[in-house]
Chains A and B, each alone.
Chain A
């Protein structure tokens, strides 16, 4: 594994508790975390900091979920960022592909392992590109 700048994960979740748990757990694993409670702020952070992975709670976006999803999907395509969604889209909303969904309620153990794997994978892609 090449040494580079610290890997980062952006957590966009309305629940302060979830952000807190993910931040504590991920930082202990040597990842930098950014967090936002609202999608709007989350997008700003994604543009500014280009994290390796975005974890987005799509379910609590409710009626805006489709639009929010589309914005994040575009942003992550542009930056080559992996996207992990918590919750699910309604069946009528088509997925753009490439992102992962984890249904709620989830267990934190497997979620954090998956986050690590995804960050690892983007790291390798970047290394190959370089």
Chain B
């Protein structure tokens, strides 16, 4: 589904899915894309979906609708377009259009034997060797144009490599500057970047050629900078101007020549900054070289190309970090929502219990007081379980290993949860393994792990219309060196797309009844034991969780400790 992702503004991090033929955008709550932005109009714009294309249309808003920095009345949106409304900047994305043909039918990877293809590798080149493609070969006579073109290509290739290797903007800019200095005889250079929100330019990288005085401040003419920014063009400047006022050349001989190149870093959407380099030629050098300049048109062209590459990389990096930040915020929000829901339910229980206690006290009815107290106590246990789960999840801990019987541990869990299952109208069946030797594990940890999985099974089983059932069984598999706890339910099953996030913390699909910690904690405990949890699920039929615990015999554990 196509979406608008807010990358700047009060709603930063929100993703609006554009469902429907007409989607309203504005401040009013009737809009599917509701923006908390005072600069947006109530009904600001709408996005119309027709025949596979999405068109944004401004609805006579006060402040206008902008796409990629241009004001629009109506605009057909393409993936990657930036939509600005008031102070809110959004990124439009849509899944790639279906071509209607399955490419896997047309392209296949097969072993040579199958196809009878006699092709074999005659030469290979490592990724790192790539830039040598453009290196001149010694025995071929060089023409100077060709040599220059080849060297330019090599610079571009290396720029592309440099920008593709890092997601750290500072590091990226340093690499770009290194490259520029390797290739052009500049004395000083700097890269200035505008902030992500389009603030004024700030110097990020400064470089001085060896042997040039470093303390010197780089002064960039404001006229040049403004020209570059406003016209979005790169410039090559020299103070040895060939105009009328340049009569005697006397001042060149006194002052030397100062040349500079300043180019915009134009990205996909915005200008993200400028790159500036300059060089000074001393009066003596001017005489020696007969007035030839160091910077040429070629340098300018190549600088523009490099700056464009760098700008694309800066933009990508910024979007990437905006995405990461937004996802992080969303995860924190999810965590808080799940936890507060759970705590709210506990609070509700405590309030209920307290109400009964108060009533019993007023009416001098001890049975009501004790009923209320039981409820309060139960909820205290719930809070303590939640805190234990949070602690288990948050810190690295070593399991407290002791010889114990898995059947006994699981049996305790079943006993503990029986009344809850009955309450939820779920039948709980328990089938202990006939043979289960005493094994070494952390009984308290495994108790918690099994409890969480069984609770989960009961919750799943009562989601269905049919009578809920949960089967708990243990098995001892000496050949595999494992002991297993198998928990199966006849609930709705787990949709394939949720399997991936099943063990992610704070993701609960139980409509707010879960903490989102149960399964992650179980998995963590099993992992600490060197075991694992396997999940099999058939939507509509139910799920089966298998907790695999390595079977460590008390004797072998003792031997390990002695050694």
Contact = CB atoms under 8 A, between A and B. Distances in A.
Interface in A79-98: none
Interface in B353-376: 353, 355-356, 359, 363, 368, 371-372, 375
B344 interface: yes
Given A17-B352, A28-B359, A63 B511 contact: yes
A25 B352 CA distance: 10
A61 interface: yes
A106 B372 CA distance: 17
- Identify the interface centre among B347, B359, B465, B510: most chain A CB within 10 Å of its CB: B359
A24 B356 contact: yes
Nearest to B423: A16
Given A21-B353, A105-B351, A37 B375 contact: no
Contact of B351 (A37, A60, A107): A107
Which of under 10, 10 to 19, 20 to 34, or 35 or more describes the interface residues of B?
Answer: 20 to 34
Interface in A23-42: 24-25, 28, 37-38, 40-41
Contacts of B214: none
Contact of A25 (B355, B375, B465, B512): B355
A60 B512 CA distance: 7
B424 interface: yes
A40 B465 contact: yes
- Identify the interface centre among B349, B352, B356, B359: most chain A CB within 10 Å of its CB: B352
Contacts of B351: 105-108
A36 B383 CA distance: 25
Interface in A98-112: 104-109
A120 interface: no
B528 to A, nearest CB: 32
A124 interface: no
Contact of A24 (B345, B349, B371, B378): B371
A1 to B, nearest CB: 23
Nearest to B371: A24
Interface string B504-540: 0000001111000000000000000000000000000
A12 to B, nearest CB: 13
Given A24-B356, A108-B355, A109-B355, A17 B425 contact: no
Contacts of B347: 105
Contacts of A116: none
B425 A18 contact: no
A17 B375 contact: yes
Contact of B512 (A17, A59, A109): A59
B348 interface: yes
A15 B345 contact: yes
A41 B345 CA distance: 22
B344 A105 contact: yes
Which label, helix, strand, loop or mixed, suits the secondary structure of the A interface?
A: helix
Contact of B424 (A28, A37, A62, A107): A37
Contacts of A107: 351, 355
A109 B426 CA distance: 32
Given A61-B511, A62-B510, A62-B512, A106 B371 contact: no
A17 B513 contact: no
B352 A21 contact: yes
A37 B352 contact: no
Contact of B462 (A38, A105, A109): A38
A111 B378 CA distance: 22
Contacts of A24: 356, 359, 368, 371
Interface string A53-67: 000000111111100
A63 B509 CA distance: 9
A40 B349 CA distance: 23
A41 B351 CA distance: 26
Nearest to B468: A38
A30 to B, nearest CB: 14
- Identify the interface centre among B379, B462, B465, B511: most chain A CB within 10 Å of its CB: B511
Contact of B371 (A20, A104, A109): A20
A69 to B, nearest CB: 14
B213 to A, nearest CB: 66
A60 B462 CA distance: 12
13 contacts: A18-B349, A18-B352, A20-B371, A24-B356, A25-B355, A37-B424, A37-B425, A41-B425, A62-B510, A62-B513, A105-B348, A106-B348, A107-B351
Given A15-B349, A40-B465, A106-B351, 16 more contacts: A14-B513, A15-B348, A17-B349, A17-B352, A18-B349, A21-B355, A24-B371, A25-B359, A28-B359, A28-B363, A37-B424, A62-B510, A62-B513, A63-B511, A105-B347, A105-B348
Interface of B: 344-345, 347-349, 351-353, 355-356, 359, 363, 368, 371-372, 375, 378-379, 423-425, 462, 465, 510-513
Interface of A: 14-18, 20-21, 24-25, 28, 37-38, 40-41, 59-65, 104-109
